[in-house]
Chains A and B, each alone.
Chain A
Amino acid sequence: MTTPLLDARGLVVRFGGVTALDGLDLSVAAGETVGLIGPNGSGKTTFFNALTGFVRLAAGRAQLAGSDITGLEPRRIAAHGIARTFQRLRLLLELSVFDNLMLGQHLVLDHGPWSNLFVRRRFTAEVRRQAEAARALLAAFSPGLPARLFEPARALTMIDRRRVEICRALIRDPALLLLDEPSAGMTPDETAELMTDLLAVKAQRPALTVVIIEHDMAVIERVSDRCVVLDYGRKLAEGPYAAVAADPVVRRAYLGED
Chain B
Amino acid sequence: MDPGLLAQHVFNGLMLGVIYALVAVGFTLFFGVLDVIKFSHGDVVMLGAFTALAVSVGLTGGGVTSSPLVLAAMLVAAIASMALVGALLARLLVLPLRRAPAINVLLITLMAGTVIREGVRLFYPQGSNPKPFPRLLPGGSSELGAFTLRHDSAILFAVGVLAIVGVHLVLTRTRLGLAIRAVAQDPETASAMGIPFTATVLATFAIGSALAALAGVVNGLYYSEISFNLGLLLGAIGFSAAVIGGLGNVYGAILGGFLFAALQTIGAVALPFASAYKDVFAFAVVIVVMAIRPAGLLAERSAERV
Contact = CB atoms under 8 A, between A and B. Distances in A.
- Would A and B touch once assembled, by the CB under 8 A criterion? yes
Interface in A1-46: 15, 45
Contact residues on A (Cβ < 8 Å of other chain), bracket = under 10
Contact residues on B (Cβ < 8 Å of other chain), bracket = under 10
A82 B302 CA distance: 26
Nearest to A52: B306
Contacts of A45: 306
A86 B306 CA distance: 8
A45 B306 CA distance: 9
Interface string B279-306: 0000000000000000000000010001
Contacts of B306: 45, 49, 54-55, 86
Contacts of A86: 306
A45 B305 CA distance: 11
Contacts of A55: 306
B299 to A, nearest CB: 13
A54 B302 CA distance: 13
Interface in B249-306: 302, 306
Interface in B116-136: none
A86 B304 CA distance: 14
A169 to B, nearest CB: 15
Nearest to A56: B303
B11 to A, nearest CB: 41
A116 B281 CA distance: 42
Interface in A43-83: 45, 49, 54-55
A148 B302 CA distance: 39
Interface string B55-87: 000000000000000000000000000000000
Nearest to A54: B306
B121 to A, nearest CB: 39
A57 to B, nearest CB: 15
A45 B302 CA distance: 18
A47 to B, nearest CB: 12
Nearest to A16: B302
A86 B305 CA distance: 11
Contacts of B302: 15
Interface in B135-167: none
Contacts of A54: 306
A49 B306 CA distance: 8
Nearest to A86: B306
A27 B302 CA distance: 31
A86 B302 CA distance: 20
Interface string B36-53: 000000000000000000
Interface in A94-130: none
A21 to B, nearest CB: 14
A55 B302 CA distance: 12
Interface in A179-224: none
A55 B305 CA distance: 10
A55 B304 CA distance: 11
Interface in B211-229: none
A98 to B, nearest CB: 24
Which 5 A-B residue pairs are closest in the complex by CB-CB distance? A54-B306, A49-B306, A86-B306, A55-B306, A45-B306
5 contacts: A45-B306, A49-B306, A54-B306, A55-B306, A86-B306
